[in-house]
Amino acid sequence: MNKKQEHLEQTMETIHQKDNTPQIIIDEEAEKKEILSRYRKLLKSIKRKITPQERQNIRKAFDLAVKAHANVRRKSGEPYIYHPIAVAQICAEEMGLGDTSIICALLHDTVEDTDITLQDIEKLFGKKIASIINGLTKISTVLDKNQSIQAENFRKVLLTMAEDIRVILIKIADRLHNMRTLEHMSREQQIKIASETLFLYAPLAHRLGLNSIKTELEDLGLKYTNPEAYHEIAEKLKETEEERKKYIQKFIQPVKKALEEKKFKFKIFGRPKSIYSIYNKMIKKHVSFEEIYDLFAIRIVIDSEPDNEKSDCWEVYSIVTDIYHPFPDRLRDWISTPKSNGYESLHTTVMGPEGKWVEVQIRTTRMDELAEKGYAAHWKYKEASHERENKLEEWLKKVREALENPDPDALEFIDDFKLNLFSDEIYVFTPKGDMKTLPVNATALDFAFEVHTKVGEHAIGAKVNQKLVPLSHVLQSGDQVEILTSAKQKPNEDWLKFVVTARAKSKIKTALKEQRKKVAEEGKEILKKKLQKVDLPYESEIINEMVSFFKLPNVMELYYRVAVENIDLPDLKSFKKYKESKRKKTNIQENEKIETLVTRTRGKGDLLVIGDKMEHLDYKLSPCCNPIPGDDVFGFITTEEGIKIHRVNCPNAIHLLSHYAYRVVKAKWINEHLISFLAGIKVKGIDKLGLVNELTKVISNEHQVNMRSIRFDTEDGLFEGDITVYVHDTKHLNRLIKNLKKVEGVTSVYRMDGTENNQ
């Protein structure tokens, strides 16, 4: 169903309802007033000065959008026009974008959802606006709520973004408003859209310097992918708010006094860490909320003249560290070397009152606005942000470069892309002192390709800080690197094992392809002769079947392997036998495509009830997260193993939901009181005599819990243990965890994922 039909159905369903349901009465006059009120609020929120002509164009776009979306409603029942106005509001108020972006935001759904064409837009508003709307329409066709982000679609999004950055800024604003109103969608849609947001939109917002938007997208993403964890952290933040405020005031007082004495104009305040970042820290470090010390950061924002910004920030740093002792290894200077998304700030961690470590961020008003609004705010500080624009252009150049030579394995391409363009960075230098930005874990060979393709292809070694190192040497920030080359050197397969940048991988693969092409041409002729010997014709159907049979990526690889005798006569005979036996098989399921399998599995109900007697549906509990009754779960349809049940907060869930949403089926548990499920528990604490005995006593006292295995390690007075037990559901497991935490000496107890849980 296309979006136009969907809007029509939603409209009919909302306004008329089905069967005998009474018609919903809509106060059209009140809605018209509300629409105009929202439009006036939008105009007031525009931060740039706009000319009467620009204002007139915005009004023209607004009138067109109102007319185009008339009588269409959102899932919430509100008029659809509220959405484009809200997107335009985000562009203006939260991103600081100008009239072009606001017009495009108002019209962003018109070409896709209504009878308005791109030609109409061009006629009314010109080529630039038509081009941006076209980009937004292209993205919508691959990323609307009925499809998942498949790898090819991801490429299209990036291509569109590389053409005009405003396309992706408006799309991020669109996604932010959708996330803010996600409660009106079904649970299945919530999980899918939130997974996509965490997978693509939050990293993009981060990469474009939209810090506050990135934070909100992450928090909302967590709210719908793992509501239990989200609400638990939100509640605990609320509970500890008063205590935190008192501590922040205590910390700020002496700093404030010292800054006032030095005649600084400043703002100083505490900012709580985002729920998502707290959750990530709890998961990565396996600690409880109570064990996280940096729940907030102190931010000092100073008014400073452009020429004095750096010296003023360092003076404030000096004042803070005179009052509180700094943590020696926790100074981050992003003022001398801004991040490639333009972020500038000084970060340090100091020992505050009551022996608590506190992060302090020091920046100017300009830096703060650019940090929150990213590239979108650069117009206000044109001179100061000239370097920032160059960095954006440099990054977009890398995007284009990565897209020119996409990896044939599209999913690998996405992973490389995310690693290179969303990851943390290091700064390294050429022998002449030029600075190059590379992702963390980049090697000397990555640096060589960053300098020039030819330097990379002929590299034989490197000197890092005057010391000779291999090409696989991992670089650190501040390294000075000289590449040693030889005309005889050629790229080889091993290089792909240690390079990390998309540029290096792409160039190496291109060079290897050229080398292989020559060998493959010889292999093609050899294969023709060998097929004659096993009495098989040389034709495209046979060749394609062979590629599939030998699990090869393409035909050229087949020719190459024949040329190097990796595939020989005995292998060709095996292929012939397989081909003959395949013909005899009558089992339709062997040839059933995944789409057919999905349709057959989903049937009419679209809901898998786990534990129900549905013999015709083969499902298994996935070992990567070991779901148990009570967990929020979904079914994932596989070709070989039937349906696999995953927890919604499984480590692999975001990947599955964002790449293969069409293979996901809703699932819920029914009560199966007599069935036990295996779950793993990790216990940590301070070692003492008889501790294991106490823990096993707690487990054996817990009603109907059987222990399968227990393993403990102790070192320097600390212990760590893995226990696997059989439980009925999450309530049962949580009760056991709660009781284990009460044992003296135990510092943390948590449920393990399946990856840790294989005894």
Judged by DSSP in three states, 199 sits in helix
Region for 46 from its dihedrals, namely left if φ exceeds 0, alpha if ψ lies in -120 to 50, beta otherwise: beta
d(CA 510, CA 500): 16
What is the pairing mode between strands 633-637 and 357-364? unpaired
361 contacts 300 by C-beta, under 8 angstroms:
yes
Token pair of 616, please?
Answer: 């015709």
d(CA 636, CA 620): 10
Token pair of 321, please?
Answer: 């560290």
| Cβ neighbours, 10 Å, residue 33 | 11
Token pair of 280, please?
Answer: 């990530």
Q: What radius of gyration, in Å, describes the C-alpha atoms of the chain?
A: 30
d(CA 609, CA 600): 16
- Distance of alpha carbon 699 from its chain centroid, rounded? 39
Among candidate residues 94, 112, 164, 218, the one labeled active-site is 112
Which residue type sits at 179? M
Catalytic (active site) residue 112: yes
d(CA 113, CA 159): 23
How far from 208 is each of 161, 201, 355, 371, 618, CA to CA, in Å? 11, 10, 36, 10, 45
Residue spans of beta strands (DSSP E) within 179-308: 266-272, 296-302
Helix segments in 453-563, DSSP class H: 453-457, 495-498, 502-533, 540-549, 555-563
If 0-12 CB within 10 Å is exposed, 13-18 middle and 19+ buried, where does residue 322 land? exposed
Which residue type sits at 303? D
- Write the DSSP string, 126-195: -HHHHHHHHHHHHHHHHHSTTS---HHHHHHHHHHHHH-HHHHHHHHHHHHHHHHTGGGS-HHHHHHHHH
How far from 2 is each of 38, 81, 147, CA to CA, in Å? 29, 19, 11
Find the helix or strand (DSSP H, E) in which 333 lies. strand 332-333
Judged by DSSP in three states, 231 sits in helix
Among candidate residues 94, 109, 113, 557, the one labeled active-site is 113
Q: Which residues of 606-625 are buried (b: 16+ CB within 10 A; e: fewer)?
A: eebebeeeeeebebebbebb
Judged by DSSP in three states, 631 sits in coil
Catalytic (active site) residue 113: yes
If 0-12 CB within 10 Å is exposed, 13-18 middle and 19+ buried, where does residue 577 land? exposed
Judged by DSSP in three states, 380 sits in helix
Strands lying side by side in the sheet with 643-647: 607-610, 664-669, 633-637, 643-647, 619-621
Task: Report, as residue numbers or ranges, the catalytic residues.
Answer: 112-113
